[in-house]
Amino acid sequence: MVTGIISELDHIRRRLSRNSQRCERSRIGQFLTPTAIAQFMADLFERDFEEVRILDAGAGAGVLLAAGVEAFISKKQLLRSIEVVAYENDELMLPYLEDTIGRCEAACIKAGIAFNGKIRAKDFVAAGVALTEKGLFSERAERFTHVILNPPYKKINGQSETRKLLDAGGTEVSNLYAAFVWLAAKMLESGGELVAITPRSFCNGPYFRRFRIALLDMMTMRRIHVFESRKKAFGEDDVLQENVIFHAARGINKPLHVTISSSEDSDFRKVNVRRVPYEYMVLPGDSDAFIHLVLSDDDEDVMNRMRRFGTPLGELGMEVSTGRVVDFRAREHLRPQPEEGTVPLVYPCHFEDGFIRWPAESGKKPNAIVSSERTRDLMVTAGHYVLTKRFSSKEERRRVVAAIYDPQRIQAPLVGFENHLNYFHAGGKGLPSNLAKGLAVYLNSTLFDRYFRLFSGHTQVNATDLRKMRYPTRELLVRIGMHVKNRIPDQETVDAILEKIYKSNG
**pLDDT averaged over the chain?**
87
Better-predicted residue by pLDDT, 58 or 1: 58
Above 70 in pLDDT, residue 111? yes
Q: How confident is the model at residue 205 (pLDDT cuts 50, 70, 90)?
A: confident
Q: Position 401: which residue type?
A: V
Please give the share of the chain, as a percent, with pLDDT higher than 70.
Answer: 88
List, for residues 241-282, the tens digit of each pLDDT value: 688 999 999 987 888 899 999 988 777 888 899 999 999 999
Q: Which burial class, exposed, middle or buried, applies to 379 when counting CB atoms under 10 A from its CB (0-12, 13-18, 19+)?
A: buried
Above 60 in pLDDT, residue 207? yes
Rounded mean pLDDT, 54-71: 94
Which span out of 126-140, 160-174, 345-359 was modeled with the highest average pLDDT?
Answer: 345-359
Lowest mean pLDDT among 30-44, 373-387, 401-415, 468-482: 30-44
Above 90 in pLDDT, residue 19? no
List, for residues 146-171, the tens digit of each pLDDT value: 999 999 988 887 777 777 777 776 77
Q: How far apart are CA 56 and CA 170, in angstroms?
A: 22
* Distance from the first to the final alpha carbon of the chain: 50
Residues ≥6 apart with Cβ < 8 Å to 29: 152, 153, 154, 176, 177
- Residue 485: count other Cβ atoms within 10 Å of its Cβ: 8
Q: How confident is the model at residue 25 (pLDDT cuts 50, 70, 90)?
A: very low
Above 80 in pLDDT, residue 12? no
Please give the share of the chain, as a percent, with pLDDT higher than 90.
Answer: 62
CA angle 412, 413, 414 (to 5 degrees): 95
| pLDDT of res. 28 | 44
Q: How far apart are CA 261 and CA 292, in angstroms?
A: 12
| pLDDT of res. 328 | 93
Lowest mean pLDDT among 4-8, 218-222, 373-377, 386-390: 4-8
Count, in order, helices (H) and strands (E) of the chain: 16, 20
- Residue 364: count other Cβ atoms within 10 Å of its Cβ: 9
